Structure 1
Amino acid sequence: MHPEPADDSGSWARLRPAVGTAIRLVMGVVFGYAGISKILDIPVAKVSVESYRIFPREIADTIGVVLPVVEIALGLLLLLGVGTRIVSIMLSLLLIAFIAGIASLWVRGISTQCGCFGGSLIPTGRPDYPLEIARDSGMLLATAWLVLWPRTRFAVEDLLGRQQDPAAARVDDLGAPAGDALAAR
């Protein structure tokens, strides 16, 4: 577990790493599952990206192949607790792109399955774009939590000896000195 700042005490200081750990593990599983479900059927993943009608076919096909690998890698890094903040920033950017893509389908009146978790392109009814946007927005909030508070329990970073000297331990999660006005939030 990462050491908490010296002036951060109370129940929030004890709760924050536990909440962050739960978020890190759940998001790791979600993105790992999403990537694995796509990588098991690359032709469907390619067609899914093409169905958004945003990119030329060649670029959409490349995204359909690369995206599952990226999702698996980022999900695994989260599960392990390696580079939690930077991985969460990357996932946040992906989620913003996913939300924008789904919103564009909705605005343009295109009815297609999002392909977010692989699966068949056989229509299973009218897509529920507001629900898909809400789901991805919730995941965006979760990754934002990890950007702000990346210190979690059971992280490989700790096992690899990520030690802080006493002066470095007196900074908050955003790198501000412990007595800084921004750190008092």
Structure 2
Amino acid sequence: MTNPTLNPWTITGEHEKYDNPWINVTEYKVLNPAGNPGIYGKVSFKNLAIGVLPLDADGNTYLVGQYRFPLEQYSWEMPEGGGPIGIDPLDSAKRELLEETGLKASEWIEIQRMHLSNSVSDELAIIYLARNLEQFEPEPEETEQLVIKKLPFEDVYQMVCRGEITDSMTVAAVLKIKLMMFEGTL
């Protein structure tokens, strides 16, 4: 019997289609699991996806609103950004939180690691809960036009439930924190 956890794909060739400082796109010639020839495109990310859900002592969290170019729509989400591979992801999380909200936290808990698209990319997301917050001035990047909104966590949870927040990392973080609250592990 074949081991179902082994890679059933055979790569017969590859060609880089696109490369920039953030992503690389490669097209592979393959034999699929049935042994038939085909192609497979893969987007490789050069950074980790980093997300931070800040939670203050009063049970409030902070959302960042911004227009998302690829989606062609406005999005409410937790502070997020890229963290260079090879750099401690927690350092990237601290930088993103300060840049986007002006917040610094003295308590950090990694709550989730997840792949954002398992069909076309290898992007790995690492999500943190940040607590014991102090307010400073935000330091957004030039590509960011941000609106910061402080809301009770329960309101943000309801926004997720109503489909008003669609960012996958934020949805995962909010649901994970809600579960931790329910289980009493927060």
Relative to the length of structure 2, the TM-score reads 0.23
Report which of the two has the higher share of helix.
Answer: 1
Higher relative contact order (CA 8 A, sep 6+): 1
